[in-house]
Amino acid sequence: MTKIGLEIHSQLTKLESKLFCSCKANYREFEPNTNICPICIGLPGSLPRLNQKAVEKATMIAMALNCSTPEKIAFFRKNYFYPDLPKNFQITQLNIYGDTSVGGIGTLMVGEKKIRITRIQLEEDPGRLIYEGSSEKNLVTLVDYNRAGTPLVEIVTEPDFENPREVREFLNILSDLLENLGVSDPSLEGAMRADANVSIEGGNKVEIKNIGSFHDLEKAVHFEITRQQSLHSRNIPIIQETRHWDDKRKITVSSRSKEEDLDYRYFLEGDIPWIKIGNEIKEKLKSEMPESISSKKQRYISKYDIPVQVADVLSSNKFYSDLFEDAHTKENAKEVANIITTDLMGLIDTREKRESSKLKPFHLKEISDSIQSGRITRTSAKNALYEIVKTGKTLSDIISELDLGNVSDEYELLKIIELVILEEPQAVKQAKSNPQTINYLVGKVMQKTKGKADPKLTLDLLKKKIQ
Amino acid sequence: MNIKISALQFTREVKSGNISAEDFIAKTMEQIQNVDDSLHAFLSINDKAVDQAREIDKKIKLGEKIGQCFGMPISIKDNICIKDTKTTCASKMLENFIAPYDATVITKLKQQDAIFVGKVNLDEFAMGLSTEFSAYGPSKNPWNTDYVPGGSSGGSAVSVSAFECVASLGSDTGGSVRNPASFCSTVGYKPTYGLISRYGLISYANSIEQIGPLTRTVEDAAFMLNLIAGLDPNDNTTVDNNNEDYLKDINSGIEGKKIGIIKEMIGEGIDPSVLSATKDAISKLEGLGATCEEVSLDMVKYSVAAYYTITATEAGSNLARYDNLRYGYDFSVEGYEFNSYIEKARKKLGPEVTRRMILGGFVPSAGHTGKYFLKALKVKSKLTRQINDAFKKFDLLISPTVPILPFKIGEKINDPVSLFLIDINTVTANLTGKPAISIPYVISNGLPIGIQLIANSMNDKLLLQAAYALEKTVQLPEVPI
Ligand SMILES: [Zn+2]
């Protein structure tokens, strides 16, 4: 049986400051080495100053993943030399001397399958190494410490996945969950990274590191399973090792550096006293925790009668569900959900488009109300939505500017219907013998009015005219 | 002008207008000029000190608000950061490190209008007890320049003892304040762990070390503590002392107090003159109304081994950043890959630091941590339990600060184990986080002997009261410089 386990690193991008200093957690907008201070570059004499908010957010993640949460947590030093590590040790957490990290054993359901979480720990992200130069020989390594000290949560799973698809589904659910908790924005570059370990029946465990995106993770796991199966079928032993994902060639390559042999000489970080996370804090965090995705989904279905698939899509995405929460009333909820999932999601399907969108919740309310009152048709609504996203104007302005108002004037509509009847004698004949085919004629009327004809009125008038 | 006065006397004199800060600082700088060539307490001098004193006099004259130090000249151990000032840790590795920020203790002293006359010598990265491991050469004992001044805060003790300042800040990881204080006949005080912020103190063994004052009098130590103690958001290990005034009631006396004589610290290997000084101090304390009785802390036997295991582990980690990528000296990377470069670069560290780095790589490593590091931690917690039990019965504990007299420069430098053992009486306070103070007690054949008192955690006030009482029984000759 194939066994896959994951080690996911998620930055707490929603925090204001780094884990041990007041530099910005959002380091992305800075020039290299400008989001730094004596603490995060580990200058002699500096000491870590723990960001309590980070501890709270990490604990919240542990609670959302149904993990045990110890009464007291501690930090440890992981000692190793690497140029992206200012102090040549990383402040992290460890559970080998008892459970002292923010989260112990937990579970996350992926459909019907239970994935066990081994532990969750809070740690500091290292800096970034940038390789420049034309050839291997002229390679220059640049170091940017802007990222050094960013709060990072490591989530480790048991090897409970059996195939790359389960891995992908898990990561989707997890990143939705983290976004919904308001702790992280997984769409930010480098905000979520993952390593995997893969073993097949009769083989040793192989770690895969250096995987840039979740998309590649699935590929890397797939490649690794195939590689191991191929070795196995030829009776070549699968050795325990660490392999790196080669992003260009899309294969895993054996690591030259023997990372598994490193001795990290873990010991307690004396500069950060033990932190008590008592029931009082846990209760407070529980009350601050946003509604879970599954509970949202249930509420959408039971309270507003929103179809299961629509509720599913809407609840799992924080951006759209927040929009829904702000825009809906009891009366228009179904319509708002419909507009978001069928039209809006296709319109602003990337992070950049979402950020530049001028749409506000009140727009959605206007549109859904106007559809319900028959002021515009769904087709016109879609056109209006496009304009609103671009300009942010009110629906009324757009209706008058683009002449999107419904043709609901009977006299005007009759003139168009008469024209269609003249142009389509064959279809009229057919409609008389088979009333089902009358929709073809409705469509023709819609075409001529550019979708503005009130569909119900059109049908009524057509029926009258033909009989 | 007499510069041989205490810190508190200095502030009173300037406050009352009897002397000016400028004159005193100028005289102090002159003293440094005169004596430091032979004593080598200082690694760098503040050439703006006199100007700064003049500014303070101006403020006093104009009746402006003035800090409690009134321009008091203080020397700072060169492992504590002063903004825009070289902070070398007496190492070649930090030869050119100019701190871009102030340590919290420096910020606090600046707010009180202290003047830093210069940075003083230490064993490289505070590892040692003689200053012989300074990369810039040893300091000399003012009582006899053939002898070591103790360490690692040797420069601090020398500068106070030789009137090159009125007070100094050192750091104490295993006795580094108390040991040189004892060897140079000054007061040396290590407060409860967490009482003084370590922000800006370059770490050696961060879980047990504290900044501490070296002063002429116990009152001065209490005064310094008043200025620099307390919670600091930049050091998560600091504790709230509720703005305790350590000077108030310092003369309360010790009548009725119970003092335990630590048996393991007056036995084997103790110099007879040190033993007799200790016995004398005990009888003086009894004369003041205290009751003294022997107490055994048998984990003290293992304390030095535990101390070196723990400090080496932490040092190995704390000093790992000195890989010559960010600090250090010109050294071409050509022909090296990352690890071999670090290996080569770190050869610039001195012999004692190297010894402890190697030890620090070994004792907590995967195959050995159970035998060494984890065992050392066990000793630490057992010793803490024992001393806590002792404090159920006793208010204070007493021992000689160092079991031997100051030794000659070069005498023990090639015998690290015998050097290690000299720490036997001081490391207990560090391993257990307790406050301890060394009081200059007697000069024996021209060499100083100090007596150590230890109190329970956060009982620093009681400790200073007892030290004050003992100090009052002592008459010491003037240092022969
Ligand atoms: Zn920073």
Q: Which residues of B touch A270 (CB under 8 A)?
A: 206-208, 237, 314
Q: Which helix (H) or strand (E) holds A245?
A: strand A241-246
Strand ordering across the sheet containing A76-79: A89-92, A76-79, A267-268
Q: Say what the pLDDT of residue B162 is.
A: 98
State pLDDT tens for residues A289-313.
999 999 999 999 999 999 999 999 9
Among A282, A313, A331, the domain-final residue is: A282
The residue behind tokens 């599954």 is A294
Residue type, A77: R
Q: What is the CATH number of the domain that holds B175?
A: 3.90.1300.10
- pLDDT at residue A196 tops 70: yes
Asked if the C-beta of B202 comes within 8 angstroms of chain A's C-beta atoms, the answer is: yes
pLDDT, average across residues A127-137: 80
Q: Pick the residue from chain A with its C-alpha nearest to B363.
A: A265
Strand partners, A103: A120
Among A263, A282, A301, the domain-final residue is: A282
Same-domain pairing of A343 and A278: no
Q: Among partner residues A41, A47, A77, which is closest to B317 by beta-carbon distance?
A: A77
Q: Which residues of A touch B364 (CB under 8 A)?
A: 265-267
pLDDT, average across residues B397-416: 94
Q: Which residues of B touch A48 (CB under 8 A)?
A: 236
Question: Residue B478, exposed/middle/buried by CB under 10 A (0-12, 13-18, 19+)?
Answer: exposed
Pinpoint the alpha helices (H) of B40-164.
49-61, 104-111, 154-161
User: How many helices and strands (H and E) does chain B possess?
Assistant: 15, 13
Q: What is the CATH number of the domain that holds A446?
A: 1.10.10.410
- pLDDT at residue A400 tops 80: no
Q: Do B81 and A44 touch (CB under 8 A)?
A: yes
Q: Which helix (H) or strand (E) holds B384?
A: helix B373-393
The angle that helices B300-318 and B373-393 make with each other, rounded to 10 degrees, is 130
Strand ordering across the sheet containing A192-199: A106-110, A113-124, A151-157, A3-11, A192-199, A206-209, A241-246, A251-254
Please give the C-alpha separations between residue A310 and each of A181, A303, A336, in angstroms, as whole numbers.
Answer: 21, 14, 11
State pLDDT tens for residues A10-55.
999 999 999 999 999 999 999 999 999 999 999 999 999 999 999 9
Same-domain pairing of A243 and A331: no
- B365: annotated active-site residue: no
pLDDT above 90 covers a percentage of chain A that reads 62
Residues sharing a CB contact under 8 Å with residue B233, sequence separation 6 or more, in sequence order = A49
Task: Between A193 and A255, name the one with better pLDDT.
Answer: A193
Please state, rounded to an integer, the average pLDDT across all residues of chain B: 96
Q: Which residues of B touch A275 (CB under 8 A)?
A: none
Q: Report how many Cβ contacts below 8 Å link chain A to chain B.
A: 98
State pLDDT tens for residues B88-98.
999 999 999 99
Q: What is the dihedral of CA B256, B258, B261, B262, to 10 degrees?
A: -160
Q: Is residue B324 part of a domain?
A: no
Please state, rounded to an integer, the average pLDDT across all residues of chain A: 90
Q: Pick the residue from chain A with its C-alpha nearest to B86.
A: A44
Same-domain pairing of A26 and A44: yes
- pLDDT at residue B34 tops 60: yes
Residue B176's nearest CA partner among B118, B137, B120 is B120
Q: Among partner residues A41, A79, A83, which is closest to B320 by beta-carbon distance?
A: A79
Same-domain pairing of A211 and A324: no
Q: Do B361 and A268 touch (CB under 8 A)?
A: no
Cα of A242 to ligand 1 centre, how many Å?
A: 32
- pLDDT at residue A133 tops 80: no
Asked if the C-beta of B77 comes within 8 angstroms of chain A's C-beta atoms, the answer is: no
Q: Say what the pLDDT of residue B325 is.
A: 80
Q: Say what the pLDDT of residue A167 is.
A: 95
State pLDDT tens for residues B327-343.
887 777 778 877 788 88
ipTM field:
0.95
pLDDT, average across residues B110-128: 98
Angle at A236 between CA A230 and CA A241, to 5 degrees: 90
- Work out how many domains chain A is built from and give that number: 3
Q: Which residues of A touch B84 (CB under 8 A)?
A: none
Q: Is residue B374 part of a domain?
A: no
- A177 to chain B, closest Cα gap in Å: 32
Q: Pick the residue from chain A with its C-alpha nearest to B208.
A: A270
Q: Say what the pLDDT of residue B347 is.
A: 84
CA-CA distance, B275 to A165, in Å (whole number)? 77
Q: Say what the pLDDT of residue A405 is.
A: 65
Longest dimension (CA), chain B: 71
Q: Is residue B203 part of a domain?
A: yes
Same-domain pairing of A268 and A330: no
What is the span of the domain harbouring residue B65?
7-252+404-471
Same-domain pairing of A373 and A445: no
Q: Are B31 and B3 in contact (CB under 8 A)?
A: yes
Q: Do A267 and B317 touch (CB under 8 A)?
A: yes
Q: Among partner residues B94, B317, B365, which is closest to A89 by beta-carbon distance?
A: B317
Backbone angles phi, psi at B105, to 5 degrees: -65, -35
- B176: annotated active-site residue: yes
Cα of A148 to ligand 1 centre, how many Å?
A: 8
State pLDDT tens for residues A108-123.
999 899 999 999 999 9
- pLDDT at residue B5 tops 60: yes
Same-domain pairing of A427 and A374: no
Question: Catalytic residue among B152, B156, B185, B399, which?
Answer: B152
Q: Please state whether beta strands A241-246 and A206-209 pair in parallel, antiparallel, or not at all (unpaired).
A: parallel
Residue type, A95: N
Residue B100's nearest CA partner among A231, A207, A427, A43 is A43
CA-CA distance, A356 to A28, in Å (whole number)? 18
State pLDDT tens for residues B275-292.
999 999 999 999 999 999
- Work out how many domains chain B is built from and give that number: 1
Q: Which residues of A touch B100 (CB under 8 A)?
A: 38, 43
Same-domain pairing of A134 and A192: yes
Q: What is the dihedral of CA B203, B209, B214, B217, to 10 degrees?
A: 160
Confidence of residue B59 (pLDDT cuts 50, 70, 90): very high
State pLDDT tens for residues A336-387.
999 999 999 988 888 888 888 999 999 999 888 888 887 888 888 888 888 8
pLDDT above 70 covers a percentage of chain B that reads 100
Residues sharing a CB contact under 8 Å with residue A350, sequence separation 6 or more, in sequence order = none
Q: Do B323 and A81 touch (CB under 8 A)?
A: yes
Q: Do B320 and A88 touch (CB under 8 A)?
A: yes
Task: Between A3 and A256, name the one with better pLDDT.
Answer: A3
Cα of A86 to ligand 1 centre, how many Å?
A: 11
- pLDDT at residue A451 tops 80: no
Q: Do A83 and B203 touch (CB under 8 A)?
A: no
Q: Say what the pLDDT of residue A169 is.
A: 94
- B16: annotated active-site residue: no
Q: Say what the pLDDT of residue A138 is.
A: 66
Q: Do A48 and B236 touch (CB under 8 A)?
A: yes
Q: Say what the pLDDT of residue A404 is.
A: 67
How far does CA B334 lie from the centroid of its chain?
41
Asked if the C-beta of B97 comes within 8 angstroms of chain A's C-beta atoms, the answer is: yes
Residue type, B226: N
- pLDDT at residue A135 tops 80: no
Residues sharing a CB contact under 8 Å with residue A360, sequence separation 6 or more, in sequence order = A392
Residue type, A408: S
Q: Do A44 and B314 touch (CB under 8 A)?
A: no
Q: State whether residue A132 is helix, strand or coil.
A: strand
Confidence of residue A257 (pLDDT cuts 50, 70, 90): low
pLDDT, average across residues A250-257: 82
Same-domain pairing of A155 and A177: yes
- pLDDT at residue B11 tops 90: yes
Q: Is residue B262 part of a domain?
A: no
Q: Are B204 and B311 in contact (CB under 8 A)?
A: yes
Among A228, A261, A282, the domain-final residue is: A282
Same-domain pairing of A63 and A179: yes
Same-domain pairing of A229 and A334: no
Q: Is residue B192 part of a domain?
A: yes
Task: Between A187 and B161, name the one with better pLDDT.
Answer: B161
Q: Pick the residue from chain B with its C-alpha nearest to A91.
A: B317
Same-domain pairing of A147 and A40: yes
The angle that helices A318-327 and A164-180 make with each other, rounded to 10 degrees, is 40
State pLDDT tens for residues A49-100.
999 999 999 999 999 999 999 999 999 999 998 889 999 999 999 999 999 9
Cα of A280 to ligand 1 centre, how many Å?
A: 30
Q: Do A83 and B325 touch (CB under 8 A)?
A: yes
Asked if the C-beta of B198 comes within 8 angstroms of chain A's C-beta atoms, the answer is: yes
Please give the C-alpha separations between residue B141 and each of B129, B174, B185, B449, B470, in angstroms, as whole numbers.
Answer: 13, 20, 10, 13, 24
CA-CA distance, A11 to B29, in Å (whole number)? 53
Strand partners, A275: A73
Question: Catalytic residue among B139, B153, B176, B182, which?
Answer: B176
Q: Please state whether beta strands B187-190 and B210-215 pair in parallel, antiparallel, or not at all (unpaired).
A: antiparallel
Q: Do B321 and A47 touch (CB under 8 A)?
A: no
Q: Is residue B15 part of a domain?
A: yes
Asked if the C-beta of B99 comes within 8 angstroms of chain A's C-beta atoms, the answer is: yes
State pLDDT tens for residues A145-155.
999 999 999 99
Cα of A127 to ligand 1 centre, how many Å?
A: 12
Residue A467's nearest CA partner among A427, A420, A435, A419 is A435
What is the span of the domain harbouring residue A107?
3-282
State pLDDT tens for residues A212-247.
888 899 999 999 999 999 999 999 999 999 999 988
- pLDDT at residue A260 tops 60: no
pLDDT, average across residues B111-125: 98
Residue B70's nearest CA partner among B134, B12, B133 is B12
